[in-house]
Amino acid sequence: MAQWNDYHHEDEDVDGEERDESGVDYKSTGRDSLVFLVDASKEMFKGEDEEPSPFDMTMQCVRSVYTSKIISSDKDLVALVFYGTEQSKNPRNSFKHVYIYHDLDLPGARRVQDVDGLRGEKGAQVAGETMGSGNTNLGEALWCCSNLYSDIKLRLSHKRLMIFTCRDTPHGGDSERDRQARTKASDLKETGVVIDLMHLMKPGGFDVSLFFCDVVSPPEDEAELGLQMEPCGKLEDLQKRVRAKEMKKRSVASLNLCLGEGMNVAVGVYITALQARKPNAIKLYRDNNEPVRTKTRLYHTQTGSLLLPSDTKRVQVYAGRQIVMEKDEVDVIKKFSDPGLELIGFKPMERLKLHHHLRSAVFIYPEEEMVTGSACVFTALLRRCSVRNVFALCKYTRIRNSPPRFLALVPQKEEVDDGQAQIAAPGFHGIFLPYADDIRTLDTTQLPTASESQVDKMKEIVHKLRFKYRSDAFENPVLQQHYRNLEALALDLMAPEHIEDLTSKMNTHTISSWFPGSGVQRSGVSSV
C-alpha cells in the first residue's frame, strides 16, 4: 500500500509550502517578455565629469537584467533594439535606422558577452563602428518592436517595453514623426504592451511633458511605480527603477476577504520574502548530455505486476493498528473550509509578539479587477487599522486542501523616497500565528545570578556592538560565490568575479570594537 502522508508533514511543512507558493507555472500563466529600446544618438555617448555616459549606464543596466533573468527566471524572453542608428538590421531592413541587436528570445551567456562588448569606451567605439548614429524615427522603432512580439508563437503573460534615452524631443520638433510615434505607441498599448520610459540626465534637464508623457503607459495599479518626472543621473537610480518595472508582480492566490455576511473584498496574496536557494542539480545522460527524465512506477511486491493509482490505498499507523483509507476519503478529511480569508476580529498591536511568527509573512493587496469596489473598502479598512493601531485577525485557507491558518493582518502605509519611487506599498502584512499545538514549553534549569560588575561589563559590550542593521544590505556569500562561478564558466572568464563578503566585514568590526587593542582595523560596516 502507498504511504499515507501525515497531514502535518504534507501541508504544514513551512519550507515546502513557501516553495509551492513561489513557483511559476509557465504553461498556465505564460512567459514574461521585456524589450530594451535604446537610443543610439550621439548625445547618448557623451559623459560628464568622468561619469559614465548614458549609453554605458544603459548597457550596465541591461547586463544586470540579463544576468538576473538567467538566475531567477530563465524562461522569460528579452530583446535589445537600438533606434537612431546609421545602420539598419531588422527583417528585410524594412525599418530604417533601427538595429535589432538581440531578438526576443531566452537570455544566455552569449548575449551577456555581447552586451559586455558594448560597455566602456571600447564598447562605445564598437557601437559606433557597428551601428553608428543617424536619424531618429521612434515610430518606426516601435513598429519594429511590435513585430517582435507578433512573431513569438509562445504564450506571453506580460509584455513590457523600456525606452532608454537622454533626449526629451527625439525628432527635434518634427510634428509628423511625433504624431506617428504617438499613434504607434497607442497601438502597442492596445495589444497589451506596457511602455516605460527610463530617461537619463541631460544638460538643461529632461522635460517629459514635451513628448514622452503621451507615449508611456499609465501605472497598471496604484502600487506600481508611475512615470517619474526626474531623470536618472546615477547608475544606481537607473537600476532601481528598472528593477521596479522589469518583473510582473504575480499573486500566489486571489481570494475573497470576508468581512461579514454578504460583504466580500477581492484580494491578492503576494510573497515579499522567500529564502533563496541554489537551483537543483539537473541529471544528464553521460553519452549525450541530454537531461534525464525520471518516472516512478509502483509494482506489487509478490506478483511484480504494475499497479495503477486505483489499486493503491493510504495507510497510517495509529495505536499499533493500520488505518486504511481510500484517496477520496483522505481528500475529504483534509478539506476544512473553502479557500479565502475570513475576518474574525481585531486586536491591539501590542498583543502581537515577535515569537508568534512561524514563517515569512505574505502581503495582502486588493484585486479591483475581480470585485469592483474592493480597493475602496480595502483602503478604508487599512486606514482605520492604522489609525487605531490594531491588527485584523483572520482565518486563511490558501487552496482547497490546505489546512486553515490564523493570520494577523498588520497594516502598512505607503512610503516613497526622495525620487518618488515607492519604498513600501500600502497593504497588510499577513503574519502566520501558531496554534496551541505549535507552542512548546521549555524546561529551564536554575542559573546563577550575575553580579553587578558582570552586568555593567555586558552593558558596555552590548553598547559597542550596536549598528544599524538592514537585511537588504547583506547578500548571501555562498549563493553569490556559486553564481559567480557559474557565470565564469558560462562566459569563459579566466577567474570568477570577486565577491564582497559583508558578513565577514561585520565580524571584523565586531572584533575591533570589542577588543580595541587587537590590531584589527575598525573600517568594518561603516557603510551598512
Catalytic residues: 27
Q: Detail the DSSP E strand segments found in 137-281.
A: 156-165, 193-199, 253-260, 263-271
The label of the residue with cell 542559573 reads 447
Burial profile 157-184: b = 16 or more Cβ within 10 angstroms, e = fewer: bbbbbbbbbbbbebbeeeeebbebbbeb
Residue of 225, 292, 279, 221 whose CA lies nearest to 251: 221
End-to-end CA distance of the chain: 56
C-alpha span between 140 and 188 (Å, rounded): 12
C-alpha grid cell, residue 100: 535589432
Closest among 519, 499, 498, 497 to 508, alpha carbons compared: 519
Kindly give the residue spans of alpha helices, DSSP state H, lying in 303-372.
Answer: 327-334
CA proximity to 480, closest of 502, 460, 451, 461 = 502
Counted residue by residue, the chain has a size of: 528
> What is the secondary structure of 105-151 as a DSSP string?
E---HHHHHHHHTTSHHHHHHHHHHHT------HHHHHHHHHHHHHT
Segment holding 416, helix H or strand E: strand 415-416
55 touches 44 (CB < 8 A):
yes
What residues have CB less than 8 Å from 284, skipping those under 6 apart?
A: 290, 291, 292
State the Rg of the chain over Cα.
28
User: What stretches of 177-308 adopt beta strand conformation (E)?
Assistant: 193-199, 253-260, 263-271, 298-299, 306-307
Yes or no: say if 340 and 256 are a contact pair by the CB < 8 Å rule. yes
Residue with cell 526622495: 418
